[in-house]
């Protein structure tokens, strides 16, 4: 959670305050990273394969649509 800072600290030493804020940020980030549930290797591989398969299927589909529309436009214009 964010902490309230007193105005005295802000006026007294702005550079030291920024260093303190940066230190707090990294400490809080480290706490949050520990909460992350990372996927297993099997889940990562399975998901990657699914994404690659979808990319191939969509590429083929869009390629055929593009080819079909190209031929249609050539037919109309000729």
Q: Output phi, psi for 36, to 5 deg.
A: -70, 135
In the chain, the DSSP E strands lie at none
At 6-63, the pLDDT tens digits run 555 445 567 778 899 999 999 999 999 999 999 999 999 999 999 999 999 999 999 9
pLDDT reported for residue 58: 98
pLDDT reported for residue 63: 98
* DSSP state for residue 4 in the 8-state scheme: -
17 CB neighbour count, 10 Å cutoff: 14
Q: 23, 3 in Cβ contact below 8 A?
A: no
Q: Is pTM, for the whole model, over 0.85?
A: no
Alpha-carbon span 40 to 43, nearest angstrom: 5
pLDDT reported for residue 73: 97
- 5 pLDDT more than 60: no
């Amino acid at each position: 959670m964010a902490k309230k800072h007193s105005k005295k600290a802000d006026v007294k030493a702005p550079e030291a305050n920024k260093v303190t804020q940066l230190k707090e940020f990294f400490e809080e980030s480290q706490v949050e990273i520990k909460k992350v549930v990372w996927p297993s290797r099997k889940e990562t591989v399975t998901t990657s394969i699914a994404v690659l398969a979808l990319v191939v299927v969509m590429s083929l589909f869009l390629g055929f649509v593009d080819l079909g529309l190209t031929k249609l436009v050539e037919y109309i214009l000729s």
